[in-house]
């Protein structure tokens, strides 16, 4: 049975931290035809606001520990300032966007991450995607814009990795659509050498992914990002691409495509 193409685009890295680059990307994203969903992070801005308020962000292995004060800050920044700034720019460019957190219309249900070796505080892991309500928005030509805030349906807001949200939304909508997941950041794709910004590895399957990890070519923050990519492919997402802001332009030919 034919399924309509749905593009889920996650934007992060220096693209979201640079207002000029962000607004340029949003203009291009607005031109994408057909149903689409945008997911955004914003960790750098949250760190800036935390520091301005006299709060010292606590990081463990590159991941933010979300205590009581931090969940308030990230909610203000992600679901407030950044989410509404992005939504307003999309409206400016003729894209009828609606800014959302996971709590809105119960779109994304999560639970507080179970403590094993490290307690990340109010960090959330996704349990379910409300594909029914998201589809109602899409069918009425509304573009959902999700920030990195979810909830546990018990009144607790949770800070959830934006890459994870993008992956889970793609998986959750794959029963209704032919879903394509795009990760947009400041690089042209997954690089063979971080010193050479043009050394893009254009095709990576699961075998090559494991090989690149062993060789140390894929390391640090790219490991969980690609984990989310392959999880999406394993659970029904048809295509995953990683690249810079030009990824949403049809003429762009340089990026990384992932396959099983």
Write the DSSP assignment of 204-250 as a string of letters: EEHHHHHHHHHTTSS-TTHHHHHHHHHHHHHTT--EEEEE-GGGGST
| Contact of 75 with 69, CB cutoff 8 Å | no
CA pair distance 101, 83, nearest whole angstrom: 9
Of residues 134, 220, 123, the one with CA closest to residue 174:
134
Which residues have CB under 8 Å from 213's CB, separation 6+?
Answer: 219, 223
> Which of these ranges, 4-13, 101-110, 151-160, 210-219, has the smallest mean pLDDT?
210-219
Contact 9, 248 (CB under 8 A): yes
For the cut 80, the answer to whether the pLDDT of residue 120 exceeds it is yes
- Tell me the C-alpha distance between 176 and 3, whole Å: 7
Q: pLDDT band for 14, please (50, 70, 90 cuts).
A: confident
pTM of the model: 0.95
Strand partners, 157: 151
Q: How confident is the model at residue 2 (pLDDT cuts 50, 70, 90)?
A: confident
> Is 5-259 a domain of CATH 3.40.1160.10?
yes
> So what's the pLDDT on residue 102?
98
Residue 210's CB is within 10 A of a number of other CB atoms, namely 12
Q: List alpha helices for 75-155, DSSP H.
A: 83-92, 131-139
Instruction: Point out the least confidently predicted range of 59-73, 93-107, 128-142.
Output: 59-73
Q: Which of 231, 225, 114, 223 is nearest to 172 (CA)?
A: 231
Please state the domain extents for the chain.
Answer: 5-259
Task: Give the pLDDT confidence score for residue 17 in this predicted structure.
Answer: 86
Compute the mean pLDDT over every residue in the chain, rounded to the nearest whole number. Answer: 93
Q: Are 162 and 168 in contact (CB under 8 A)?
A: no
Collapsed DSSP state (helix, strand, coil) of residue 37? strand
3-state secondary structure 171-217: HHHCCCCEEEEEEECCCCCCECCCCCCCCECCEEEHHHHHHHHHCCC
- Beta carbons of 82 and 17 less than 8 angstroms apart: no
Chain segment 191-247, per-residue pLDDT in tens: 999 899 999 999 999 999 999 999 999 888 888 889 999 999 999 999 999 999 999
Q: Which helix (DSSP H) or strand (DSSP E) does residue 49 occupy? A: helix 43-52
Q: What is the spatial distance between Cα 230 and Cα 162, in angstroms, rounded to a whole number?
A: 16
């Amino acid at each position: 049975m034919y399924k309509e193409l749905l593009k889920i685009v996650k934007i992060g890295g220096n693209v979201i931290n640079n207002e000029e680059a962000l607004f340029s990307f949003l203009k291009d994203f607005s031109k994408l035809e057909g149903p689409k969903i945008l997911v955004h992070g914003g960790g750098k801005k949250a760190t800036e606001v935390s520091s301005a308020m006299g709060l010292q962000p606590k990081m463990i292995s590159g991941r933010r520990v979300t205590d009581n004060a931090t969940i308030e800050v990230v909610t203000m920044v992600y679901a407030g300032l950044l989410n509404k700034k992005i939504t307003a720019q999309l409206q400016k460019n003729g894209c009828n966007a609606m800014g959302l957190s996971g709590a809105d219309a119960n779109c994304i249900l999560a639970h507080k991450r179970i403590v094993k070796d490290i307690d990340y505080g109010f960090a959330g892991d996704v349990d379910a995607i409300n594909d029914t309500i998201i589809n109602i928005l899409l069918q009425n030509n509304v573009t959902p814009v999700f920030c990195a805030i979810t909830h546990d349906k018990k009144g607790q807001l949770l800070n959830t990795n934006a890459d994870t949200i993008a992956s889970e939304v793609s998986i959750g909508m794959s029963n209704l659509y032919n879903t394509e997941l795009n990760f947009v950041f400041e690089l042209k794709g997954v690089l063979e050498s971080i010193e050479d910004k043009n050394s893009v590895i254009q095709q990576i399957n699961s075998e090559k992914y494991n090989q690149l990890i062993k060789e140390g070519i894929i390391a640090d923050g790219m490991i969980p990002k690609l984990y989310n990519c392959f999880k999406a492919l394993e659970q029904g997402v048809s295509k995953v691409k990683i690249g810079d802001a030009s990824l949403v332009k049809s003429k762009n030919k340089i990026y990384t495509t992932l396959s099983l």
